[in-house]
Structure 1
């Protein structure tokens, strides 16, 4: 644990906490003194993260939840509040890559699945956390968007994913405005290429290979910084800052974390 915890006394909820950015953020929040409620669809992975936090001297709850099912999520929040007495912050991070393919080949149900998981899941995560944050008299929320749909529109077949991530960014800014009178901040992180397993949550249509796009010459590689692709831990550091009181005058911001990638690939 940190010698001077930045989240000491806080209770944080993290969705999609079983892997990638969610896992890294949960570990970082716990390291800085927060009690963490780990919410994920996969019981095995979220239990593993709980074990990591407890082994390091932190406190965590592991809750297996499908965030596209509001009743499950509401019950999970009730358990968190019952166990820890309050909820201070929310990192609404859970999401999927979803269907990747030409617009005319995407099945209606596949489009709906992507938007339901990403957009409705984020909406649900925020909606049902608000009463707990209001009860505290303050709170902080961070949503996960993406370069896709905010700065980058050149990825073949990404219409569903990019639409969902653009929607999350817009929703976050609307929420920041609406919740400001209640001293609840809402910010959005928009990661670029990060080393995660999100590709495992998508399904690519075979037609993607035949999509015709105008050839464009980009500089070698996609991330200009020498380290290349970002790490989940780097995004976690940004999330920690935005959720903490150090960012107490930051709300409604869409913060791109991409190593200047979007300056090269637009």
Structure 2
């Protein structure tokens, strides 16, 4: 059952050192404020799970929070590489980082299997790739009905899922809309969940195409206006395209990155 709480309190309860944490959001509704709070709390040895690691995970990796990354694509959207991710993989800075790579379809199917209480999902999407040979969570499987060779991917059941949404009511029912990714699936697959929202309202007005997460599927709801910035929340905030361009230079240099984290994350109180 959902509980309304301040972000520091919710994350302190939901995310522990060594946890597997999924922070989902596709193009928008990316939970940056929550990631910054995890950095402030000094979380370590996390397995970070995300379909599209972008700036949010570049920051967590550069801050030394991550030991492992499970993902299907990584980059600064429309700009280039994630330099903190590359530095960790190529030079073990600020620490070594193990990686587990999948396709987008594979990641979604893994979340769905986890949310459904199944041990694995089956798809055709890995045919012709070499991922099966380097990723333990991918394995060949033969259809018992047709004999077709398919690919199985193990279920994802994160210790914690963290997402951002537009609204929640005072019972903790969460409403999100616009371009969405695997937020619903990640929450339903996880043992614990934290949802930051732009606002908490008395009643959720219907929105065409909205996804509703019922209060019994969510553990903590935190009102964090602007919690997706520099990504955006449809109907509330715009994407800060200039920030994504600036991030390329900020993240290239270790000391510049550290200075940015000190000034903009460690030196800032949670909302």
TM-score (norm 2): 0.38
TM-score (norm 1): 0.39
More strand by share: 2
Query: Which has the bigger relative contact order, CA under 8 A and spacing at least 6?
Result: 2
More helix by share: 1
